[in-house]
Structure 1
Amino acid sequence: MAKKLVIKVTAGTDAPERCSQAFTVAAVAAASGVEVSLWLTGESAWFALPDRAADFELPHSAPLPDLLDSILAGGRVTLCTQCAARRDITEKDVLEGVRIAGAQVFVQEAMADGAQALVY
């Protein structure tokens, strides 16, 4: 089993099933004791902001705020630097526990010994 799971989610409300799948996999992995790093990129960047996950709806899926809370409690959530800049999101805007970092950090995490990376 991978020691670390790095998940990059590029979808938000524009592709709700793909978005929900990424958050669900991350939350289940974190609950299972896997070290999880969830990267918010593209349209999922908005979920780094308070209350944005509450606006997300997808029938027959777990509520996004609950998934995000469990990921933050048991893993790490990172907002892409460029994605944040394009949306005028700064460190002071994001949820507590969300960091902003760039591609170099993503590559380091994804290439770490024992890491597995997924992109949604």
Structure 2
Amino acid sequence: VWGVEADSYICELSFGAGLATCAEWSPVAGETIAVGGSGGIALCKRDSWNAEAVLSGGHARNAVVTALDWSPSGRYMLSGDNEGIVVLWDVFQKESLDRWKFDHPIQKVRWLPKSNHAIVLD
């Protein structure tokens, strides 16, 4: 974590084993950052910078999470992986709600602001 205003190192995120490939701040005051990669998805709180929870069970064990985005409310999240799977998560309940399979690795997922629509780039 880098402090832009102070132009200084703050700390290293500790979210377990695996390579981090993507990260997104929650839309609710940026209090949580979701970090995705080869170890799944870790939710790290800004006040401690440690993994407070892990979202698991939506992606295959060997899949690498390549894309993340939060819903405008901060309750839901979309994640995509290198195997072409997109997962809809309930972040509050820490469970997957739905999965969709695409033909190619997922490059980007984005919620459309002010609605319950999303775009997936594969």
| TM-score of the superposed pair, with normalisation by structure 2 | 0.28
Q: Which has the larger radius of gyration?
A: 2
Q: Which of the two has greater strand per residue?
A: 2
Q: Which of the two has greater helix per residue?
A: 1
| TM-score of the superposed pair, with normalisation by structure 1 | 0.28
Relative contact order higher in (CA < 8 Å, ≥ 6 apart): 1
